[in-house]
Structure 1
Amino acid sequence: MGKTLCLVAAREYLIGMQNIGRFVLKPGFVGHLDELIEDL
């Protein structure tokens, strides 16, 4: 459970970072993180 919460928090953080500077993160990275969360 704790591992999932950490990934969700990381995803929220990455989405925030992506909104601030889209050039920093590669497109589709957050979507890939979503897949990892669903696998848990």
Structure 2
Amino acid sequence: MSSKIAVCIGQSGKLCLCRVHGSSKMMTTMEATKEVELL
């Protein structure tokens, strides 16, 4: 289980950290925001 942390730029212009599982799965802005709230 290796998860990478990526920095995503939301539509509002805010920087958010999103977890990327694998190498091809990316998270949407809303999901990334949820990840930040969970951190």
Q: Output the TM-score relative to the length of structure 1.
A: 0.34
Q: Which has the higher strand share?
A: 2
Q: Which has the higher helix share?
A: 1
- Does 1 or 2 have the higher relative contact order (CA < 8 Å, sep 6+)? 1
Q: Output the TM-score relative to the length of structure 2.
A: 0.35
